[in-house]
Amino acid sequence: MFDEIYHGQSWPRAIVHIDGDAFFASCEQVMHPELKGRPVVTGSERGIISSASYEARKFGVKRGVTPWDAKKMCPGLIFVQSDYQVYSEFSQRMFAVMRKFTPTVEEYSIDEAFADITGYDRLYKCSYGEIARRMKEAIEEELKITVSAGVSVSKVLAKVGSKWKKPSGCTAIAPQDIETFLGKLPAGSVWGIGGRTAESLQHHGVHTALDFSKKGEGFVRAFFAKPQLELWRELHGESVYPVVDAPKEGQSSVSKTRTFTPGSGDHVFLFAQLLKNLEHACERMRAYGQVATGLSVFLKTAQFHYAKLDMRLERRSALPTDMVGTLRVRDGGDAHGIKVCG
């Protein structure tokens, strides 16, 4: 069930976030019914777990764990080779269901999307929370997997809602209830706040998302950059990030970076994290209907030494399995990223 729902009169905007639950593993369980109710993981062919079913998560197995460690956590674990074409098909079916409720749908990644339903409470004669619930249930009926939904007045708050009761949760965060939710949420769990930013916030006595939202705009401007200011505004219920229902025009590359706190010189760990970045970048490309012709990998050490490697692909692709063979980690450090070029 979803949290208490409210009439849309107090909502300046209504944005739904739909997030697939253990998406890749769930797709495999639908395609292979014998895997239902069993601990399943995907991605081991790339040396890192990309998705773990909730049965596997009970043993501590999660995304980013190595297959070796995962097997130690759960001796009965079932490894399934990733099939991104199947996952993409499930993804497009999910987005198609969402568009039955509103044409304004942004395909954010392969397993999540935003939808703007502002004003649709009058069309459907029900609350925004009820619309989100109906959308969620329609997706689950069509795909035979579970998804979680959140609806609020901004993208960031909608994402807070979708994470609130995973799996298969549905949470409406009305304007008058924003502070209640933010007070229970660690600042580092907010979409867009990474490890370094969370660490910096803690130094300023900011531990929860509510602590951050209560800080004045002057504080945010003084200590942080534009992205953090935009997050701060979104947490206040201002819709800074619109739902974009079309691919970005003229986009020539997609990139994904990550900074480690603390830094690491473990080449196996770095390569595994690089593969995660590759997967995220490929998800975004598929969402935009694009393919890549090349890769650019960079790494920056804690001493600010910078290394970059550019590679061409043998064939155009948006699947990480077609690219992983070209990747090599050349140095240890505390930050790395990947760019896929069209």
Give the C-alpha separation, 274 to 307, whole Å: 14
pTM of the prediction?
Answer: 0.74
The token pair at 254 is 């997609």
3 state DSSP class of 244: coil
Residue 241 CA from chain centroid, whole number: 16
The arithmetic mean of pLDDT across residues 146-165, rounded, is 96
The arithmetic mean of pLDDT across residues 276-301, rounded, is 78
User: What DSSP line would sit under 8-53, residue for residue?
Assistant: GGG-S--EEEEEESSHHHHHHHHHSGGGTTS-EEE-GGGTS--EE-
pLDDT number for residue 327: 63
128, 8 Cβ separation under 8 angstroms: yes
Q: Give residue 333's pLDDT band: very low, low, confident or very high (50, 70, 90).
A: very low
Q: In which element (H, E) is residue 49 found?
A: none
The arithmetic mean of pLDDT across residues 273-289, rounded, is 78
Give the C-alpha separation, 76 to 342, whole Å: 41
The mean of the pLDDT values for the chain is 85
Which residues are 268's β-sheet partners?
none
Q: Give residue 235's pLDDT band: very low, low, confident or very high (50, 70, 90).
A: very high
pLDDT number for residue 324: 74
* Domain made up of 253-341: CATH architecture: 2-Layer Sandwich (3.30)
Torsion sign over Cα 216, 218, 224, 225? positive
User: Is pLDDT above 90 for 94?
Assistant: yes
Torsion sign over Cα 10, 132, 155, 243? negative
155, 104 Cβ separation under 8 angstroms: no
* Phi-psi group of 175: left, alpha or beta (phi > 0 → left; psi -120 to 50 → alpha; rest → beta): alpha
Percentage above 70 pLDDT, the chain: 84
Q: Which residue has the higher pLDDT, 233 or 250?
A: 233
Q: Give residue 258's pLDDT band: very low, low, confident or very high (50, 70, 90).
A: low
* Burial class of residue 48 in the structure, from the number of CB atoms within 10 Å of its CB (0-12 exposed, 13-18 middle, 19+ buried): buried
Give the C-alpha separation, 296 to 255, whole Å: 9
User: Is pLDDT above 50 for 1?
Assistant: no
Was domain 23-86 assigned CATH 3.40.1170.60?
yes
pLDDT number for residue 305: 61
Strands (E), the chain: 15-20, 40-42, 51-52, 78-80, 105-109, 112-116, 147-152, 170-172, 253-264, 292-300, 306-317, 333-341
User: Is pLDDT above 70 for 261?
Assistant: no
Q: Give residue 282's pLDDT band: very low, low, confident or very high (50, 70, 90).
A: confident
Side by side, the strands of the sheet bearing 15-20 are 105-109, 112-116, 15-20, 147-152, 170-172
Q: Give residue 109's pLDDT band: very low, low, confident or very high (50, 70, 90).
A: confident
Which residues are 333's β-sheet partners?
264
Give the C-alpha separation, 293 to 317, whole Å: 7
User: Is pLDDT above 80 for 54?
Assistant: yes
Q: Give residue 336's pLDDT band: very low, low, confident or very high (50, 70, 90).
A: low
Which residue's entry shows tokens 């029900």?
126
Looking at the chain, the domain(s) classified CATH 3.40.1170.60 span: 23-86
User: Is pLDDT above 80 for 22?
Assistant: yes
Give the residue among 43, 81, 83 at the shortest CA–CA distance from 65: 43
Q: Give residue 25's pLDDT band: very low, low, confident or very high (50, 70, 90).
A: very high
Q: Give residue 4's pLDDT band: very low, low, confident or very high (50, 70, 90).
A: very low
50, 63 Cβ separation under 8 angstroms: yes
User: Is pLDDT above 50 for 34?
Assistant: yes
pLDDT number for residue 303: 54
User: Is pLDDT above 60 for 340?
Assistant: no
Give the C-alpha separation, 201 to 208, whole Å: 9
Catalytically active residues, by annotation: 112
113-129 burial, b if ≥16 CB within 10 A, otherwise e?
A: bbbbbbebbeeeebbbb
168-218: pLDDT as tens digits: 999 999 999 999 999 999 999 998 888 888 888 999 999 999 999 999 999
Give the C-alpha separation, 194 to 16, whole Å: 23
Angle, CA 231 vertex, CA 228 and CA 232 arms, to 5°: 85
pLDDT number for residue 3: 40
Q: Are strands 78-80 and 40-42 parallel, antiparallel or unpaired?
A: parallel
The token pair at 201 is 């916030």
Looking at the chain, the domain(s) classified CATH 3.30.1490.100 span: 253-341
Most confident of 68-77, 299-308, 309-318: 68-77
The arithmetic mean of pLDDT across residues 69-96, rounded, is 93
